[in-house]
Structure 1
Amino acid sequence: MGQKPVVLVAASDPLRSVTLGGLVPGSELRPVSDTESLLREAHLTPPDVVVLYTDTPSKLPLPDVLTMLRSRPELAHTRWLAVGTQGLGPLLQAGADALMSDTTPSEALATQVQTMLDRVRQGRELAERHQLMQRRMESWEHEERVRDQLVHMLVHDLKNPITAVLGLLEVVGEDERMPEDMRELLDLAREETQHLLHLSVNMLDVRKIQAGKMKLNTELVFASKLLEVIEQARGDVGAGLRERHLRVDIPQSIRPVYADPEILRRIYANLLSNAMKHTTTGGVITVLAQERGQELLCSIRDDGEGIPAEDIPNLFAAFEQSRLTLHGRFDTGMGLAFCKLAVEGHGGQIWVESERGRGATFYFTLPLEAETDDDDFVELLS
């Protein structure tokens, strides 16, 4: 069992403590005869409640004594009840939590003390919970820092050798003496190495965005630039995409969006890679964009096997992916997690619609540039 709550009764008459003690069961009431004793007792055992009568003998003004006591950190949870006929106003200004007349019946005084004890208990429980949460938060922040450092170290240690391997594969691929059957294996090795590079970079960028450390270099992206970004993303995905039919429909009439072209390229590369992963050779992947109010609605649709409904809610979480895939390639799920964070960083939204056996469509929105007068638009283009 825990310790009993402590109530100090500062008064010239010690019988007041005895009378009150019989009315507040489960508490330890201690009489103090003057403010010097009160200062000493409060220092030795921080009380839960102090009943301070205005007739308590004191060498200092009672309001000054109360101000002094309230400034002590160890008495932060203590409640103060001033009791008397005169001098209650200055005590209230000095920090008393409640005032009562010394003619109040003892039962009413005991009820007030019990209410204060309950509030002190609740306050201390809340403080303990806050401290516990604070410790957990500090522990979590420490783990996050360690994880960030580990991810950063791993990615940077991996990028250089992966990039070197890609360069060597490019050199070997340019050799005309390479047999055709070996060239297919070389293309596969190059594609998988590129995929490995994407996995590591996505992992680092997801951590950066979550930590608020990735800054977007936004600019006006017109339809022609958007087509260029999609074409670059197509090249990033690798040779496997050439075995699917890719259809791109971006109307030249769409208004520009404010976006970071490089991040937009990564979004498309990840979504195209995901679509390729879910379609067989000869499958169709369609990339569309159209204005919808003040947004540009972009979509990547495939005619693959679709995504099970139970997989969709967690699809954009790191280390989550659909369990139904046509290929055995390992994936961390960081690609879609990156897409979600990057799209939301642009002020847009991303979601997926899918039906088993009928493919999947990933949608994301980007805020459109506000409409301008025709003359201003022509001036902007010139």
Structure 2
Amino acid sequence: MTDFLVDLGIQYGWAWFLATVAGVLLIALPLMLGVAMIIYADRKIWAAIALRKGPNVVGPFGLLQSFADGLKVFLQETIIPSASNKGLFLIAPIITFTVALLAWAVVPFGPGMVLADINIGLLYILAISSLGVYGVVIAGWASNSKYPFFSAMRAAAQMISYEVSIGFILICVILFANTNNLTLMIEAQRGFGLGFVNGFVFHLLLFPMWVLFLISGMAETARAPFDLTEAESELVAGYQTEYSSMSFALFWLGEYANVLLMCALNAILFFGGWLPPFDWEPLYLIPGIVWFLLKILFFFFIFSWVKATVPRFRYDQLMRLGWKIFLPMSLLFVVLVSGWLMLTRYS
């Protein structure tokens, strides 16, 4: 797009700036629309599993329910507790929402369809996503209320615990792909499984890592059965208790944007990203972005399915799973993967 604007006679600096802004909007606006519709899909999936109808009144088939909820939240009064730290109280949801959007800058939606195709794309996502804990901790502390503070401490411990395991899982994928660039990582999966399946997940050493990554992603985003940060019977509504209006909505949007990011990472790291499931020429006639979005929707269905059917963990069970099971397993597989590659790739 930069070259196109330069051809129109615009100076290179301005052309680059306008192209970057256009790229940001092309990602952010559809993502916001996608978050609204994915909340609707989430509620519909829960309703179907519980044999209920779900949203079905506002708009055809209830499709406008999320927008009606957004309008209601937008028109509500923003209440700031008198004893809170007002500056930090207001900036916390902004941090959470902004960090959730920043990670999408390096996500490739198709061949060449990425805002920043950098060589450290995976490290960038790991670094950006780890910043989300600051919004949660600041929200809990700035509220000056004990239940949000307890929830923020829980959230910080939970997110840090599972980020450690995710880091070792990503090392296994990086070793196989031999790159941190997400585009090259997807290309490395072309025909990887049995010579005709696109995806790392079909390797015996990487399939367990995908299972661990899927579960760790649920814990990292505080989805059920790992939603200990807002266990109603213990913490009212968690670190969001004192929030209302758009500040509450920003937490909500950031949470679902992070869930979609985890679904996208499952597709990119283990299931071939924009590549079709099989390395068969007719399947490549379908645009890559279609395959990518279908994979995201598939993983989101798994997230919703688990939330609707699996009971919530106790907090000690959550910590034990992260530190005593996932961490040793991911460390073991780093050794196994590196050993396997030393024997096969460099022998």
Same fold by TM-score, threshold 0.5 exceeded?
no
Q: Normalized against structure 2, the TM-score is what?
A: 0.24
Relative CO higher for 1 or 2, CA cutoff 8 Å, sep ≥ 6?
2
Q: Which has the larger radius of gyration?
A: 1
Structure showing the higher strand proportion among its residues: 1
Q: More helix by proportion, 1 or 2? A: 2
